[in-house]
Amino acid sequence: MKPKFLIGGAVIVLALGYLIWAGVTQSAVYFVTPSELSAAPVTGKAYRLGGLVERGTLKWEPATLDLTFSITDGKTHVPVRHKGAPPDLFGEGRGAVVEGQWTSDGYFKATQILAKHSEEYKAPHDAKEAQSRGLIKTLEKGER
């Protein structure tokens, strides 16, 4: 091998390494539960918050497109605000992952809602069996 090809190869490897490193540091999104987020919220950091939509907290204002709800893991809950209609598969008592940021005003500002049902395809009568524990497990696995 001629040296210029070795140098060329090294340049490419270094450039690629830099691209990947910069990409990871800029676009890493951390998956957290409400407990983990409440313990140490960092304002402005990108999170995916996963849990259940707490019953009795879902409010949807069609006129202003304001969607507010709380995400809970059974121990603690985090208030979430979003602009836009609730997506399919989204509802109280169901699992959801919201992507967004913690704001200094004390709520989680969602940019995207990824509603999920458990990944195993289920008949309707099974649906109620999906308790929060199993569902959260599914969600975490999905977001690894």
Which residues of the chain form contacts with another protein (CB under 8 A)? 2, 4-5, 8-9, 12, 16, 19-20, 22-24, 26-32, 48, 60, 62-63, 65, 83-86, 88-91, 94, 115, 117, 119-124, 127, 138, 140-144
Which run of H or E residues covers position 48?
A: strand 46-53
Asked whether 73 and 35 are in contact (CB, 8 A), the reply is: yes
Question: With respect to another protein, which residue has the nearer C-beta, 8 or 134?
Answer: 8
Question: With respect to another protein, which residue has the nearer C-beta, 106 or 141?
Answer: 141
DSSP 41: -
Nearest-CA neighbor of 36 among 124, 90, 102?
Answer: 102
Question: With respect to another protein, which residue has the nearer C-beta, 32 or 106?
Answer: 32
Rounded Cα distance between 93 and 84, Å, is 19
Beta-bridge partner residues of 78: 71
Q: Which two tokens stand for residue 100?
A: 């967004």
We find the least distance from the C-beta atom of residue 34 to another protein, in angstroms, to be 14
Question: With respect to another protein, which residue has the nearer C-beta, 103 or 127?
Answer: 127
We find the least distance from the C-beta atom of residue 23 to another protein, in angstroms, to be 4
We find the least distance from the C-beta atom of residue 66 to another protein, in angstroms, to be 11
We find the least distance from the C-beta atom of residue 128 to another protein, in angstroms, to be 10
Asked whether 48 and 30 are in contact (CB, 8 A), the reply is: yes
